Amino acid sequence: MLRLKSIGGLALSLLIAVPPGAFASSHREAPITALDHTADITDVYAFVSYDHPDRVTLIMNVDPFLQPSNGPNYFPFDPSVVYQIKIDNNHDALAHVVFQFRFQTHILDPGLPVGYAGAGNGVAAPANSPSPVAPGTPIVPPRSLL
């Protein structure tokens, strides 16, 4: 019995030591999805809306492991992929409501890294900017370029 408790304690401590990201959703290991990452729907969430209790909020996560810190290396959406959320209202395994989403990526300024696209009226180099960037030099373009 003592040995069983020791093994159980070791297993639990190893489970706690695993970083939370290891439990994150990723379906890249699915054979067909691994060939087409743009079609990868990682999760779909449905819950009662916080501001309208008579409505349901649906959230769909697409293309796993992309975070704001990943920019400016974002993958564009594939316009040939149709994402769908199918709703069964009476448990008969038939879709009664279907939401379809198609995305298209528009790059209006291909020379501008996405992480720096638009900041209010733009950002200029500060007055104490070191050489070779002169003070007042535009660094981040205004949001109007988006």
* 25-75: pLDDT as tens digits: 555 556 666 667 677 777 788 999 988 899 999 988 776 555 555 555 556
DSSP class of residue 144 equals G
Instruction: Please indicate, yes or no, whether residues 56 and 91 belong to a single structural domain of this protein.
Output: yes
Query: Is residue 30 one of the residues assigned to a domain?
Result: no
For 95-120, what is each residue's pLDDT tens digit? 999 999 888 877 676 666 555 555 66
Instruction: Kindly list the distances between the CA atom of residue 137 and the CA atoms of 65, 86, 125, 128, 129, in Å, as whole numbers in the listed order.
Output: 35, 51, 5, 12, 9
In a domain, 64, yes or no: yes
Residues of the domain holding 130: 109-146
Quick one: CA dihedral 5, 7, 12, 17, positive or negative?
positive
pTM equals 0.49
Residue 93 in this model has a pLDDT that exceeds 80: yes
Please indicate, yes or no, whether residues 44 and 95 belong to a single structural domain of this protein.
yes
